[in-house]
Amino acid sequence: MGVVVPLEEEVNRPASIGPLVELTGPDMERVNRMILDRAGSDVEMIPEVANHLISSGGKRLRPMLTLASAAMFGYGGEHHVRLATSVEFMHTATLLHDDVVDESDLRRGRSTARTVWGNQASVLVGDFLLGQAFRMMVDAGSMDALGVLSNAAAVIAEGEVLQLSVAKNMETTEDDYLAVIRAKTAALFSAAAEVGPIIAGASRAERNALKSYGINLGLAFQLVDDALDYGGSQQDLGKNTGDDFREGKITLPIVLAYRRGSEDERAFWKSAMEDGLNDEAALERANALIARHDSLADTIARARHYGDIARDALAPLPGSDYKSAMLEVIDFCIARVT
């Protein structure tokens, strides 16, 4: 009796985040404990607000990237757990502030912290988590990792402001849009993936490979997220389809549909996105125009493009379970929408 290797089935199974989750499982347990510990405070409202968001079940992809990118280079210390927790706190702080800025009521299908505790608490608990993130980075003791993460913190905020200034402006170009998502999303993916090789003492080339992987994975991830807001398979979306439209957020599906549209269609986009004439009928027309001009398909094509760059970034590195898992995450991110 031979060993049954379900090779074909393996090859054909859908791309999954499973292998990454499995490989980083034991360390992620430590990250999760540290998250609960460092979100604690004698000031009662802080753990309440923080845990609301923390327990709302994000995938925690970013800290997994940090753990995997450290393990990939044989890191055997303790600091990857601190840095991974820092990365997740930076992300959580951004979400808290984002919801205030966007005046959002729902995130991942639950009320946002600001609707439960108010904008004030959301701003301040975000500040607290950011402070805690920096504390943990300092504890991790790597000046290089600190440099990368503090740089990301400034770039993320810059991206959010840039997003404000392009909001509700239909003349936004694809490049403007890319500059926003590069700063507000890809910068943290990139930093999360780069600090692993840094603390593992990997070479400059290896560090750059992970940095490039991170930024391009982040771009692909955000492009897909923005596509999902106009349809696609939504089971893991946890936000309302059409939210971006109703908020006047200019994302690539809209940018492409506008630029490819007729005079008449452009007038519609302006009235919907700039003047806020965005009721359900308008959303229906928007979806029809996006379909007519292949804007959703091309947004996903752009995501594939960045996914390919991310894949090539890791290509020179030796094969390993970690590398395979990180490559599969690229496909997983893109498959969310297809």
Q: How far is the CB of 119 from a second copy (least distance, A)?
A: 7
Give the span between the Cα atoms of 336 and 338, in whole angstroms: 6
Note the helical H segments in 241-317: 243-247, 252-260, 263-269, 280-292, 295-314
Q: Residue 70: CB partners within 8 Å, gap ≥ 6?
A: 80, 83, 195, 196, 197, 199, 200
Q: Does 156 bind a second copy (CB under 8 A)?
A: yes
Q: What is the x/- site pattern for a second copy, positions 23-42, by CB under 8 A?
A: ------------------x-
Q: What DSSP line would sit under 111-134, residue for residue?
A: E-HHHHHHHHHHHHHHHHHHHHHH
Question: Which of 74, 77, 151, 315: binder of a second copy (CB under 8 A)?
Answer: 151
Question: Which of 97, 207, 211, 293: binder of a second copy (CB under 8 A)?
Answer: 97
127/275 with CB nearer a second copy: 127
Give the span between the Cα atoms of 154 and 257, in whole angstroms: 32
Q: What is the x/- site pattern for a second copy, positions 40-59, by CB under 8 A?
A: -x-xxxx-------------
For residue 101, the one-letter residue type is V
Give the span between the Cα atoms of 139 and 33, in whole angstroms: 17
Strand partners, 271: none
Q: How far is the CB of 118 from a second copy (least distance, A)?
A: 8
Q: Does 169 bind a second copy (CB under 8 A)?
A: no
151/173 with CB nearer a second copy: 151
Stretches 148-156, 247-255, 292-300, 327-335: which one binds a second copy (CB under 8 A)?
Answer: 148-156
Q: Does 124 bind a second copy (CB under 8 A)?
A: yes
Stretches 29-37, 158-166, 215-223, 266-274: which one binds a second copy (CB under 8 A)?
Answer: 158-166
Q: Does 116 bind a second copy (CB under 8 A)?
A: no
What are the two backbone dihedrals, phi and then psi, of residue 111, each rounded to the nearest 5 degrees?
A: -60, 140
Question: Which of 74, 141, 201, 276: binder of a second copy (CB under 8 A)?
Answer: 141
Residue 164: count of CB within 10 angstroms of its CB: 12
At 106 the three-state DSSP class reads: strand
Q: What does the binding site for a second copy look like in residue numbers (CB under 8 A)? A: 41, 43-46, 97, 100-101, 119-121, 123-125, 127-128, 130-132, 134-135, 137-139, 141, 143, 146-147, 150-158, 160-162, 164-165
